[in-house]
A and B are shown apart, each in its own frame.
Chain A
Amino acid sequence: MAADCTVKARPAHRIVRIAEDGRPRIEAYRCENCGAVTDSQTMACRACASRKPPASFGVGRTGKLWSWSVVHRSYPGVAVPFISVIVDLDDGLTLKGTLRGVDTSGLRQGLPVRLVFDDAGGAHDKEGVPYVGFHFVPQGDA
């Protein structure tokens, strides 16, 4: 078997999907009966118990800040401070993540942010395969 010259990265977070061409995307699930959105493929709808499994849909990367905390002490070995945020994505999924590239004085509910895929802090698995993670930046930033 020929060696694969392009190593497909692995998701660093359960919400990240990686296509055959290696491009990451965010996928969520919506109930066709009641419209409830969830982050995982459940057997029935978590909100209305409809037996029709929620259908997957691609989630856009823009959203708005719902809540946040500037974390000054975390578990041993975790670099601080960082800004932990809750973001309501415009397509209807809420995600927790780290917000970068913003002064803490600019934090406010409703701040428009964008999800950016990253290399999950440069992490690799045991076989040296890289990970794909994400963080948030204020909209307008790269």
Chain B
Amino acid sequence: MMSDVYIAGADMIAFGRYPDRAYFQLGAEAALMALDDAGLSIKDMGAVYASSVFNAQSMLGQKMLKEIGQTGVPCINVSNACASGATAVREAFVAIKSGLYDAVIAVGAEQNPRGMLGGAPPFGPPPEGLFGSESMPAVFAEAGMVHAARYGTTVEQFAQVAVKNHHHATMNPKAYYRRETPLEEVLASEIIAEPLTKLMCSANVDGAAAVVLVSERKARELGMGRAVRIRASVLASDPYEPRNPEMFDPNSVTRLAAAQAYEMAGLGPDALDLVELHDCFATAELLHYENLGLCGDGEAGRLIDSGATALGGAIPVNVSGGLLSKGHPIGATGVANIVEIVEHLRGQAGARQVDGARIGLAHVLGFGAAAGVHILEKA
């Protein structure tokens, strides 16, 4: 019988700007922190899964090992847009599940380019503005406007996502923005792409996060007290949608991954105590309430209004501050979301702790498209 897979160590560096350090040093630091958390050494790791988008071709995993110990194990360097981190964790999960290894590490590390990310490679004249906008804010603004047109979702409801997640971040010392932003301030900040203002867009930062995955045998050896069981590890690519790719569809790929994750875990959204989902923009968070089944279709606006997704509510979402305020170092994001869930399941999340959390879900969405969903349970 195949072994369950456990997370024995999880940690992340504070997200922010690190102009004087290299991306692989950020990754190496996160790796050491996660190893220390597990009480293991890099010499115990059977394989290294390293994720990055902007440094994907640089042999990130090997560069990290040159910082912390060249053990000669396989390094698998992955890039899968904003789902890269979840992809590394999922590959690590598969490796343990296969029985080939007792312990592996997944690390996401990134130094983002500054400025607005995204955009198509030029073909003929630069397309931006001539053929609409390919900027990420515009793409997620348009996705939000479909919801607004169909269900009457208001700009205030989208903005409340930023109010909530910025509030959560004030309780997370590793978040980049740690400041309350009242609704009036969110609405009055610079308009980027209607209905998105600047405070409804994710923070462009550097960061790194790591998790150590182990077999059941290894978990028992280490002691199950702090272990977290991976109930589901799912990665999906986008199915055909008539409007995709001209209109990026964040919904169908997330729904596909979520359905598979709930099936693998043998539970439904009602069983979740907290969720970290891919709030790259405020509009996206409301779409994913429905995509992950936290509410019915068309009910996301009412769900945010009800306060259910704030800390203390029935299903707190992005208590880390989310991508909006914790920050979005692309290749590290999917690992960091899992680190956040682990901290809550261990009861170590400090002021933002979700009381009695036993089961949590981490979701990321990669443009192009990929979706990763992990469901974790306190062992």
Q: Which of A68, A73, A88 contacts B145 (CB 8 A)?
A: A68
Identify the closest chain A residue to B240 (Cβ). Answer: A47
Cβ contact within 8 Å between A84 and B243? no
Cβ contact within 8 Å between B124 and A84? no
B379 CB, nearest partner CB in chain A, Å: 41
Interface residue total, chain B, C-beta cutoff 8 A: 37
B153 CB, nearest partner CB in chain A, Å: 13
Cβ contact within 8 Å between B243 and A66? yes
When chains A and B are docked, how far (Å) is the Cα of A66 from the Cα of B174? Answer: 39
B39 CB, nearest partner CB in chain A, Å: 47
- With a CB–CB cut-off of 8 A, which chain A residues contact B195? 69
Cβ contact within 8 Å between B192 and A98? no
Q: Which of A37, A109, A133 contacts B125 (CB 8 A)?
A: A133
Take A39-B246, A96-B247 as given contacts and tell me if A84 and B130 are in contact as well, using a CB distance cutoff of 8 Å. Answer: no
Per-residue contact bits, chain A 79-92, to B (CB 8 Å; 1 contact, 0 not): 11010111010001
Cβ contact within 8 Å between A109 and B132? no
Give B127-168 interface residues, CB cut-off 8 Å to A.
Answer: 127-135, 137-138, 141-143, 145-146, 149-150
Take A70-B193, A72-B194 as given contacts and tell me if A86 and B243 are in contact as well, using a CB distance cutoff of 8 Å. Answer: yes
- With a CB–CB cut-off of 8 A, which chain A residues contact B133? 69, 71, 74, 82, 84
Give A106-126 interface residues, CB cut-off 8 Å to B.
Answer: 108-109, 120-121, 123, 125
Which of A74, A76, A95 has the most chain B CB atoms closer than 10 A to its own CB?
Answer: A74
- With a CB–CB cut-off of 8 A, which chain B residues contact A39? 246
- With a CB–CB cut-off of 8 A, which chain A residues contact B190? 72-73
Is residue A97 contacting chain B, with contact meaning CB distance below 8 A?
Answer: yes
- With a CB–CB cut-off of 8 A, which chain B residues contact A46? 240
- With a CB–CB cut-off of 8 A, which chain A residues contact B196? 69
Take A67-B143, A69-B141 as given contacts and tell me if A96 and B240 are in contact as well, using a CB distance cutoff of 8 Å. Answer: no
Interface residue total, chain A, C-beta cutoff 8 A: 45
Take A69-B133, A82-B129, A84-B193 as given contacts and tell me if A75 and B142 are in contact as well, using a CB distance cutoff of 8 Å. Answer: no
Cβ contact within 8 Å between A75 and B246? no
A87 CB, nearest partner CB in chain B, Å: 9
When chains A and B are docked, how far (Å) is the Cα of A18 from the Cα of B142? Answer: 30
Is residue A52 contacting chain B, with contact meaning CB distance below 8 A?
Answer: no
Cβ contact within 8 Å between A98 and B131? yes
Is residue A51 contacting chain B, with contact meaning CB distance below 8 A?
Answer: no
B272 CB, nearest partner CB in chain A, Å: 30
Take A13-B124, A86-B247, A131-B124 as given contacts and tell me if A69 and B138 are in contact as well, using a CB distance cutoff of 8 Å. Answer: yes
B236 CB, nearest partner CB in chain A, Å: 16
B115 CB, nearest partner CB in chain A, Å: 8
Take A75-B119, A84-B132, A98-B132 as given contacts and tell me if A67 and B193 are in contact as well, using a CB distance cutoff of 8 Å. Answer: no
Give A127-142 interface residues, CB cut-off 8 Å to B.
Answer: 131, 133-135
Cβ contact within 8 Å between B125 and A12? yes
Is residue A10 contacting chain B, with contact meaning CB distance below 8 A?
Answer: yes
- With a CB–CB cut-off of 8 A, which chain B residues contact A131? 124-125
Identify the closest chain B residue to A121 (Cβ). Answer: B130
Is residue A56 contacting chain B, with contact meaning CB distance below 8 A?
Answer: no
Is residue B191 contacting chain A, with contact meaning CB distance below 8 A?
Answer: yes
When chains A and B are docked, how far (Å) is the Cα of A123 from the Cα of B125? Answer: 6
Take A67-B145, A71-B138 as given contacts and tell me if A85 and B119 are in contact as well, using a CB distance cutoff of 8 Å. Answer: no
- With a CB–CB cut-off of 8 A, which chain A residues contact B240? 36, 46-47
Identify the closest chain A residue to B128 (Cβ). Answer: A78
Identify the closest chain A residue to B150 (Cβ). Answer: A109
- With a CB–CB cut-off of 8 A, which chain A residues contact B142? 67-69, 84, 86
- With a CB–CB cut-off of 8 A, which chain A residues contact B242? 36-37, 92, 94
Is residue A24 contacting chain B, with contact meaning CB distance below 8 A?
Answer: no
When chains A and B are docked, how far (Å) is the Cα of A80 from the Cα of B193? Answer: 10
Is residue B116 contacting chain A, with contact meaning CB distance below 8 A?
Answer: yes
- 14 new A-B contacts, CB < 8 A, other than A69-B138, A71-B194, are A10-B124, A13-B130, A66-B146, A67-B143, A68-B142, A69-B137, A72-B192, A73-B193, A74-B116, A74-B128, A75-B128, A84-B138, A85-B132, A98-B132
A contact set with B: CB distance below 8 Å: 10-14, 36-37, 39, 46-47, 66-76, 78-80, 82, 84-86, 88, 92, 94-98, 108-109, 120-121, 123, 125, 131, 133-135
B contact set with A: CB distance below 8 Å: 115-116, 119, 123-135, 137-138, 141-143, 145-146, 149-150, 190-196, 240, 242-243, 246-247
Interface pairs (23), CB distance under 8 Å? A12-B124, A13-B123, A47-B240, A66-B247, A67-B142, A68-B145, A69-B137, A71-B129, A72-B193, A72-B194, A73-B192, A73-B193, A74-B116, A74-B129, A75-B116, A75-B119, A76-B115, A78-B128, A94-B242, A94-B247, A96-B131, A96-B247, A120-B124
